[in-house]
Amino acid sequence: MPSESDDQPQPVKLSLPLEYQQEIFNELRTEDELLILARGCGLLRIVTNLLHSYDAAGNNLVLIVGAEDRENGWIGEALAEHAAISGSSKARGLSVVNTDLMSVGTRERMYANGGIFSITSRILVVDLLTSLLAPDTITGIIVLHADRVVATSTEAFILRIYRQQNKDGFLKAFSDNPEAFTVGFAPLATMMRNLFLRKASFWPRYQATIQRSLQGKKKAEVIELEVPMTDAMRDIQNAIMECVEASIGELKKGNSGLAMEDWNVDRAIHKAFDAMVRRQLDPVWHRVSWKTKQIVSDLTVLRGLLDALLTYDAVSFLRYLDTVVAVHSPPPGSTRQNVSPWLFLDAAHTIFDTAKRRVYTGKLDDKGSANGNLEGSLRPVLEEQPKWGQLAETLEEIDRDLYFNPQIRDDSNGTILIMCADTATSRQIKEYLQSMHVQTEDQTEDDGSEPRPSAAHMMRSKLRDYLRWKPEFAKISSSLFGENQKSLSEAGGGRGGPSSFRGKPPPNKRRRIRGGGSNISTSHRGADGNVQIGEDKPSEVATLLSEIRPTDAESMQKAEPIVDPLDVTEDFFELFDMDELIVVHAYDGDMDEHLLEEVKPRYIIMYEPEPTFIRRVEVYRSSHNDRNVRSYYMCYGGSVEEQRFLSAIRREKDAFTRLIKEKANMSIVMTVDAHGIEDQEDVFLRTINTRIAGGGRLAATATPPRVVVDVREVRSSLPSLLHGRNMVIVPCMLTVGDYILSPDICVERKSIKDLISSFKDGRLYTQAETMLQHYKSPMLLIEFDHNKSFMLEPFGDVQGSALAANSSSDLQSKIVLLTLAFPRLRIIWSSSPYQTAEIFESLKTQQAEPDPIAAVRVGLDKDMNAEDQVFNREPQDMLRVVPGVTSKNLKNLVLKAGSIIEVSNMSEAQLAPMVGKEAGKKIHSLAFVSKPEVNNSHDPDFGDNLYALSSRAKLENKRAEQLRESIWAKSTHITMSTAKPIRRVTLFKIPTEEGQEQLLAKYRDMPQKALKDGAPYILDIQAGKTFPDQRAQGFTLVASTVFKNKEDMLFYDNECAGHADLKKVAMAVHQGVMMVYFESIFD
């Protein structure tokens, strides 16, 4: 592959109209660097233009690493557009390699032809290690999301391999997340070392060139709308912030030994605060109390309440609070220590009480008040979100502007674009705009005033739904609480009863409410001081429902379907007039640039503030001088929303300032050679350090240490760290073990989650047995996370939860039983992948290097070459779930039985020589055969038997599973070894006799042709009920276990092996209209 210096300059057309974009492009073309650009300033546009400059040359192999699926779509469309504009005949566009279903030969040919490739890291690192892609043939690598490239990442592994063998290719990294480069000690230098780059380039929003480019010739029309919150919303927000402050105070009390300078209320309102606190507590997570763990999770809940207060309507917010109380309140009789501490605060009472008064409240009549009786009725309040009214006023202002000031002729449409935070808010705005002019009874009675936009219709509908939902939710919660309490009492051995405390909080005093009324239904304190929500009386709920019954105008409103029927859209369609269109859309990152270019809005309403989108609008307006844009910016004054917006801008500015200072003080990196880690003497004297015959000479070998790694382990961080210690990684498909360190040492690696799941399904015992059978020194590696506690038993959880204590002791007991069952099995406890790499390096000392071919052959048939053994994985997966089948005897079954049906038809005497008596008995006892028994799938009565079997089962849930198991296992012919591919299954429903005859005439000889060609087939269904005269023709469902498309694969579960669509087949036969076949086998 020619290098970049050999390329002839090709004239290309770029779409970079702004000065700073052109300057960045020229800088990137001349040298390798890390580019950190402010969010919203068009990073992907710069990347696509850079890629197009290499694509137009036509003789480059450029790899994109770290791109997401959505970004692949963006880049692919942009490259195709650039190629069409430039008219370059050599441009090939983007090729995406993101699945293993693309064969090795196909990828090798694609690499040889060159082009622009976006490859997943897992596939690329395997191709580099196996030399399928030679690093010296790569023109360059583009790294997106460079902030994610840490030392243990697969991307860093790829770049190390690339730089070791290719010193001339370019390497450019991009990121628009400057905050990620400010965490830890010398983060910029560490990140550049991981990227093998010497130079970093920073482009914040306040950079002079960016400011000059975004000012534009015309002054931007930006109207800021500060919307005041209601008194109830402000009270709830203050109460939530009080709970947050109290929770942070409790965290500081219980964890005084940690750095807590950033633990404050201002930080707590951001999403990153939860992760920051958890990251600091992870190393000592096993020692913190249950209260600390509960508070950490409570902070996430409280932050969610702040978001819901500003985005949800009053009824939805009350419903959300009901779910929060149900989740965090204890069931009757449980201990207080498992309850969220913030629920005991008076501020929590304020939150629930005020939230209910926003929806409905109670009122007392004079008679009831005089008698001291609290009986009354409920009346709806239905407080609207203040932004709704402001949005309606803004739309009216835009309408007036369009009426009195006709549009200026330019390239913009008259479209109004409303941007919000998420799709839920988008649906809410759409519902409000559709119903804001529907009048209710109260509004109809006021004839004197002009009707104003209102959300009364929408809110009344939501309240009706809420009142119907609440009693059902209460039933579900009570039943779940009963089951949870039962399991807790069983796990705790009767210890989970109520406990006494030193002092109980005083009962909450009755609060006086302005106006002389009181709530009939409100929150109160339970016996333990916890907030409890009072239940409304059924009579009061019935009265409230009658008061908000739908009016005639409301009844005429029809709910629109979420998805339009395809048959209707084909018959009736129209094109929208862009000048009369209101588009409501959620913020979608870089995709918003496409939205602005396609919609060309004249008016943009930012329903919720987003600094990144504001910059995108600035770039859009400055890039198109012929388009006028007026922006409205809505924000709740004095709210958390406003604080987040200002804090996000401040944090980004501070991050760039810190990066600039670190770059100024950073030492110059003289080399980025990936080989520079190891001493040159150690390169020669590598493995053996032993005296020979007393002569004092060192026996050495120039062969670097080698580790054979299972290809499924490459995605973990350990192979990268081993490669960083100058070991050669050889990825292979191993049957036994995960890492082969020497001909005698085999290691099975388990993280804590993998260890628990392996014990649960019994897979670990089978793996240990196979390792002991083939290796002298089998080892089990139990590896912990680098940033988490090196402790198997969580001390805090044992004190706070009986279930956690039982599960912890159960895991320890299983490990003890494993060591008793396999005394030769050695267990390695590793605190992190870093320590594991050190352990592996010490284990390889004075050991022979492993043979990859021999490692692959372990566990396979010794009489056959490894490359000649081609096995279908699906039949083996089916057999693995059969009781009595292990990895050891599975090989005998696969080699001595040609198909699964042969295994199912074997007697105990036939199975015993292959798997043993006990295992043979278990296999034979499995209910493979259901009455009526079918011994031959070619039996002409098989269709009738299948129909009768499915009719008798009535396709009920539990029986349908048994039916699926028996039919699948009994009627399956899968060859154990095949390489004949079949592409796609086709399902025909035959509604008429004419259609039956046509298909019958066309495909009459299908089964005979399939058998004649020796193609693998699975299930032979003769639909005798549908075709009684032709059932001997054998309408066939043919399938193979080697597929080219991922969607055509067979799926299995842990309980039984079966075809995902087999139940549909049985149901269709039961209904009498089905023929199924695989088409490509008959091409």
Query: If residue 833 lies in a helix (H) or strand (E), which one and from where to where?
Result: helix 833-843
Pick the closest to residue 943 from 1015, 900, 1007, 1002 (CA basis): 1007
* In the predicted structure, residue 904 carries a pLDDT above the cut 50: yes
Across the range 618-634, mean pLDDT stands at 90
Among 33-42, 595-604, 753-762, which is the least confidently predicted range? 753-762
Q: Are residues 577 and 478 both part of a single domain?
A: no
Q: Are residues 87 and 187 both part of a single domain?
A: yes
The per-residue pLDDT for 552 is 53
Across the range 473-498, mean pLDDT stands at 58
| pTM (predicted TM-score) | 0.72
Among 124-138, 154-168, 400-414, which is the least confidently predicted range? 400-414
Across the range 1044-1064, mean pLDDT stands at 32
Across the range 882-905, mean pLDDT stands at 75
The per-residue pLDDT for 805 is 46
Which residue did the predictor score with more confidence, 502 or 159? 159
The per-residue pLDDT for 793 is 58
Query: If residue 709 lies in a helix (H) or strand (E), which one and from where to where?
Result: strand 706-710
Q: Are residues 309 and 404 both part of a single domain?
A: no
* In the predicted structure, residue 955 carries a pLDDT above the cut 60: no
CATH code at 400?
3.40.50
3-state secondary structure of 484: helix
Round to whole Å and give the CA distance between 184 and 973: 59
Across the range 835-853, mean pLDDT stands at 91
* Averaged pLDDT of the chain: 73
The CA-based angle 829-835-837, given to 5 degrees, is 110
The predicted-structure confidence for 513-558, as pLDDT tens digits, reads as follows 333 333 334 455 554 555 555 555 565 555 566 566 665 555 555 5
How far, CA to CA in Å, does 787 sit from each of 92, 281, 784, 791, 832? 44, 10, 9, 12, 8
The per-residue pLDDT for 1053 is 28
The per-residue pLDDT for 501 is 38
Displacement of CA 220 from its chain's centroid (Å): 39
Please count the structural domains in the chain.
5
Q: Which band of pLDDT confidence, cut at 50, 70 and 90, is reported for residue 417?
A: very high
The predicted-structure confidence for 776-813, as pLDDT tens digits, reads as follows 999 999 998 887 778 775 533 434 444 444 555 678 88
Q: Which band of pLDDT confidence, cut at 50, 70 and 90, is reported for residue 76?
A: very high
Round to whole Å and give the CA distance between 139 and 561: 51
* In the predicted structure, residue 203 carries a pLDDT above the cut 90: yes
DSSP conformation letters of 563-617: S--HHHHHHS--PPPGGG-EEEEE--TTHHHHHHHHH--SEEEESS--HHHHHHH
Across the range 231-258, mean pLDDT stands at 88
Q: Are residues 187 and 239 both part of a single domain?
A: no
Which residues, 6+ apart, have CB-to-CB distance to 901 below 8 Å? 937, 969, 970, 971, 972, 973
The CA-based angle 724-730-733, given to 5 degrees, is 135
Exposed e or buried b per residue across 786-812, where buried means at least 16 C-beta atoms within 10 angstroms of its C-beta: bebbeeeebebbbebbbebbebbeebe
Do residues 315 and 462 lie in contact, with contact meaning Cβ atoms separated by under 8 Å?
yes
Pick the closest to residue 269 from 652, 655, 641 (CA basis): 641
Across the range 654-683, mean pLDDT stands at 70
The per-residue pLDDT for 508 is 42
* In the predicted structure, residue 859 carries a pLDDT above the cut 80: no
CATH code at 158?
3.40.50.300
Among 185-199, 729-743, 788-802, 1028-1042, which is the least confidently predicted range? 1028-1042
The per-residue pLDDT for 1033 is 32
User: Which pair of tokens denotes residue 948?
Assistant: 């009768």
For the CA atoms of 294, 297, 299, 304, what is the dihedral angle to 10 degrees? Answer: -140
Do residues 701 and 684 lie in contact, with contact meaning Cβ atoms separated by under 8 Å?
no
Tokens 């009053």 belong to residue = 314
The per-residue pLDDT for 477 is 74
Highest mean pLDDT out of 407-411, 543-547, 723-727, 786-790: 723-727
Q: Are residues 1013 and 1077 both part of a single domain?
A: yes
* In the predicted structure, residue 478 carries a pLDDT above the cut 70: yes
Pick the closest to residue 756 from 795, 813, 833 (CA basis): 813
3-state secondary structure of 911: helix
Do residues 884 and 922 lie in contact, with contact meaning Cβ atoms separated by under 8 Å?
yes
Q: Is residue 461 part of a domain?
A: no
Highest mean pLDDT out of 358-367, 484-493, 633-642: 633-642
Among 198-202, 259-263, 510-514, which is the least confidently predicted range? 510-514
Side chain identity at residue 302, one-letter code: L
Query: If residue 274 lies in a helix (H) or strand (E), which one and from where to where?
Result: helix 272-281
The per-residue pLDDT for 902 is 76
Q: Which domain-ending residue is among 191, 215, 239?
A: 215
Round to whole Å and give the CA distance between 274 and 279: 8
Q: Are residues 913 and 1018 both part of a single domain?
A: yes
Round to whole Å and give the CA distance between 250 and 925: 59
Compute φ and ψ for 194, nearest 5 degrees. -65, -30
Q: Is residue 444 part of a domain?
A: no
The per-residue pLDDT for 1025 is 31
The per-residue pLDDT for 932 is 36
* In the predicted structure, residue 269 carries a pLDDT above the cut 50: yes
Which residue did the predictor score with more confidence, 335 or 586? 586
The per-residue pLDDT for 371 is 41
Q: Are residues 574 and 605 both part of a single domain?
A: yes
The per-residue pLDDT for 515 is 36
Q: Is residue 666 part of a domain?
A: no
Torsion sign (Cα): 650, 651, 654, 655: negative
Q: Is residue 224 part of a domain?
A: no
Q: Are residues 40 and 170 both part of a single domain?
A: yes
Task: Residue 310: give the domain boundaries.
Answer: 230-384+474-496+516-546
* In the predicted structure, residue 373 carries a pLDDT above the cut 60: no
Q: Is residue 673 part of a domain?
A: no
Which residue did the predictor score with more confidence, 365 or 272? 272
Q: Which domain-ending residue is among 215, 247, 264?
A: 215
Do residues 602 and 415 lie in contact, with contact meaning Cβ atoms separated by under 8 Å?
yes
* In the predicted structure, residue 427 carries a pLDDT above the cut 60: yes
Q: Which band of pLDDT confidence, cut at 50, 70 and 90, is reported for residue 196?
A: very high
| Percentage above 90 pLDDT, the chain | 32
Do residues 977 and 903 lie in contact, with contact meaning Cβ atoms separated by under 8 Å?
no
Q: Are residues 987 and 897 both part of a single domain?
A: yes
3-state secondary structure of 532: strand
Q: Is residue 43 part of a domain?
A: yes
3-state secondary structure of 363: strand
Round to whole Å and give the CA distance between 23 and 447: 64
The predicted-structure confidence for 918-932, as pLDDT tens digits, reads as follows 888 878 776 343 333
Round to whole Å and give the CA distance between 700 and 690: 9
* In the predicted structure, residue 650 carries a pLDDT above the cut 60: yes
The per-residue pLDDT for 541 is 59
| Percentage above 70 pLDDT, the chain | 64
Across the range 215-243, mean pLDDT stands at 89
The per-residue pLDDT for 1072 is 33
Compute φ and ψ for 559, nearest 5 degrees. -75, 130
The per-residue pLDDT for 483 is 56
Round to whole Å and give the CA distance between 32 and 140: 10
The predicted-structure confidence for 825-843, as pLDDT tens digits, reads as follows 999 999 999 999 999 999 9
Q: Which band of pLDDT confidence, cut at 50, 70 and 90, is reported for residue 62?
A: very high
Across the range 669-689, mean pLDDT stands at 50
3-state secondary structure of 676: helix
Q: Are residues 47 and 135 both part of a single domain?
A: yes
Q: Are residues 538 and 570 both part of a single domain?
A: no
* In the predicted structure, residue 997 carries a pLDDT above the cut 60: no
Q: Which domain-ending residue is among 858, 880, 901?
A: 858
How far, CA to CA in Å, does 380 sit from each of 141, 359, 457, 462, 820? 62, 6, 12, 12, 69
The predicted-structure confidence for 7-60, as pLDDT tens digits, reads as follows 455 567 788 999 999 999 999 999 999 999 999 999 999 999 999 999 988 889
* In the predicted structure, residue 711 carries a pLDDT above the cut 80: yes
Highest mean pLDDT out of 75-89, 497-511, 512-526: 75-89
Q: Are residues 209 and 236 both part of a single domain?
A: no
Q: Which band of pLDDT confidence, cut at 50, 70 and 90, is reported for residue 675?
A: low
Q: Is residue 465 part of a domain?
A: no
Where are any strands of DSSP class E within 723-771? 728-732, 739-740, 745-751
Across the range 580-601, mean pLDDT stands at 90
**Strands lying side by side in the sheet with 200-203:** 94-97, 115-119, 61-65, 140-143, 170-175, 34-37, 200-203
Side chain identity at residue 220, one-letter code: A
Q: Which band of pLDDT confidence, cut at 50, 70 and 90, is reported for residue 1064?
A: very low
CATH code at 746?
3.40.50.10130
